[in-house]
Amino acid sequence: MKKIIFYSAAFVLAVGFFMGINLHGIGENAINFEAVDINGNKVKLSDYNNRLVLLDFWATWCPPCRAEIPNLVGINKTFTRQEFVIISVNGFERGSTEEAVKFVKSNNMNWIHIIDKSAARDIAVKYNVQLIPTMYLIKNGKILAEGLRGESLKTKIKELLGK
Domain count, the chain: 1
What pLDDT, in 10s, does the model give residues 110-129? 999 999 889 999 999 999 99
List pLDDT tens digits, range 33-53. Answer: 999 999 999 999 999 999 999
- Ranking 71-75, 81-85, 133-137 by mean pLDDT, the lowest is 81-85
Instruction: Supply the pTM of this predicted model.
Output: 0.83
pLDDT band at 11 (very low <50, low <70, confident <90, very high): very low
The pLDDT of residue 1: 52
What is the CATH number for 40?
A: 3.40.30.10
Question: Is residue 132 predicted with pLDDT exceeding 60?
Answer: yes
Amino acid at 63: P
DSSP notation for 85-148: EEEEE----SS-HHHHHHHHHHTT--SEEE--HHHHHHHHHHTT--SSSEEEEEETTEEEEES-
Per the structure, the complete domain to which residue 129 belongs is given by 2-161
